[in-house]
Amino acid sequence: MLHTLALPALQDNYIWLLAGSDGACVVVDPGDAAPVFEAAARGLRPVAVLITHHHPDHIGGVDALLARFPVPCFGPDDPRIPAAATRVGDGDRVDVPALGVAFDVMAVPGHTRSHLAFHGAGVLFCGDSLFSLGCGRLFEGTPEQGLASLDRLAALPGDTVVCCTHEYTQANGRFARAVEPDNPARDARVAEVDAQRARGEPSLPTTIASELACNPFLRVDAPGVRATLAQRLGGEPRDRVQAFAALRAWKDGFRG
């Protein structure tokens, strides 16, 4: 049996582990090596590293981690990725024999131009492309790219376990309420998250089905979202891309 484990790191990051019953684990986006070393001291054993994108809070611990655990490492074909990583791209598969799992590599540009997601064993490691109730800022990509990437992720099976890499869910929930005031599924999700955080637990992972029901960035076609955008823009968005771009720009300055 495989299970996911979120290691808190830095300010609000999660380093994700996918671990087997014998302690072998895949490490995803180690922005800091220390939490992984602490997990290893408790019996977990890294057997591979996956990198979704080049931002320092996702790669800062890679070199130190690989120095102690010289295991295969996979990441985007981008000069900003640590040199030790094997470059992979859209349509590739990453095999992890120690866990008996293979990951499909998906290109999901938007947050960065070379951003990847890894999908395998019913789990999605999506970096900063998709958050619970939100999505990543478009630092390098276009709205067209960002929307297409989210559409790809949204098409995965509904029971896919989604491992996002930041604890942003409560703040995203406030924005989601402003965008789509009447959404009982989202209200239930926000209440669940508030209870989890009050207990000191992560709000993650989530699922594709939950995000389809609650996340405004996956709901650009929903009548409630379109109505709010039409009011905000002074008219109906001309297409899905404009709707998504307007949502993302609104979120960038949202202080609710």
Catalytic, 12? Answer no
Of 166, 194, 221, 239, which residue is the catalytic one? 166
Catalytic, 54? Answer no
Catalytic, 58? Answer yes
- Tokens at residue 206, please? 């989530």
Of 32, 53, 115, 119, which residue is the catalytic one? 53
Of 29, 32, 54, 111, which residue is the catalytic one? 111
Catalytic, 57? Answer yes
Of 29, 32, 54, 55, which residue is the catalytic one? 55
Of 54, 58, 115, 119, which residue is the catalytic one? 58
Of 29, 54, 115, 128, which residue is the catalytic one? 128
Of 29, 32, 54, 57, which residue is the catalytic one? 57
Catalytic, 53? Answer yes
Any idea which residues carry the catalytic annotation?
Answer: 53, 55, 57-58, 111, 128, 166
